[in-house]
A and B are shown apart, each in its own frame.
Chain A
Amino acid sequence: AQSVAQPEDQVNVAEGNPLTVKCTYSVSGNPYLFWYVQYPNRGLQFLLKYITGDNLVKGSYGFEAEFNKSQTSFHLKKPSALVSDSALYFCAVLPSGGSYIPTFGRGTSLIVHP
């Protein structure tokens, strides 16, 4: 069975500093990996995904994520955080064998301080 771990419940960063939200996964075979963001009182929005190819994936709002197969990680990054980036971030994994049932992590609350 697949699983996703987001080891930090909360990440605090100052505006303008780089941010990292961590995600590790466990899945049989090759993974499809996703990041979603949830703003207050809203549903989840897709940010970016890794399917195959370049390990560095660029997504919406200046976010990027790096796939590391040996460490089974898919950390979300942004070079310069904005206060408006404050939200709840979810990592999700799908096995590449045709399943459409993603497994989500528990979420990480990102707080960007002015």
Chain B
Amino acid sequence: EAQVTQNPRYLITVTGKKLTVTCSQNMNHEYMSWYRQDPGLGLRQIYYSMNVEVTDKGDVPEGYKVSRKEKRNFPLILESPSPNQTSLYFCASSLRLSGTEAFFGQGTRLTVV
């Protein structure tokens, strides 16, 4: 089954404690991205990757890091989480082909206290 898998689904952590949210897709997609979803703000892109070892900032990259060492994986790293990073996070992937739709993971609800 074609899917994007995120882990964990729920996470509560404390300020400053480094964490990683994993994302993996099994569709051989070149393009992957991370979004955060906040009430009233919709989806905002954090980082994206066009292919292995190629990443770039989205609209709200501050406080986040990513890496793309393998095509299927695109982890999101919060080196020193803060309460304003409490949000619902989505990973998405798509073919690197103009006009194709994205496939989304089920989301990770992160709470930073």
Name A's B-contacting residues (CB within 8 A): 9, 32, 34, 36, 41-46, 49, 51, 90, 94, 96-102, 104-107
Residue pairs across A and B with Cβ atoms less than 8 A apart, 20 shown, are: A41-B106, A42-B107, A43-B90, A43-B105, A44-B90, A44-B104, A46-B102, A90-B42, A90-B43, A94-B98, A96-B99, A100-B31, A100-B48, A100-B96, A101-B58, A102-B102, A104-B42, A106-B40, A106-B41, A107-B43
Complex Cα gap A106–B109 (Å):
18
When distances are taken between beta carbons in the complex, the residues of chain B under 8 Å from A43 are: 4, 90, 104-107
The CA of A48 and the CA of B103, in the complex, are separated in Å by 13
Interface size on B, residues (CB 8 A): 25
Q: Is B45 close to A, CB under 8 A?
A: yes
Q: Chain B: residues with CB nearer than 8 A to chain A?
A: 4, 31, 33, 35, 40-43, 45, 48, 50, 58, 90, 92, 94, 96, 98-99, 101-107
A2 to B: closest C-beta gap in Å:
12
A46 touches B4 (CB 8 A): no
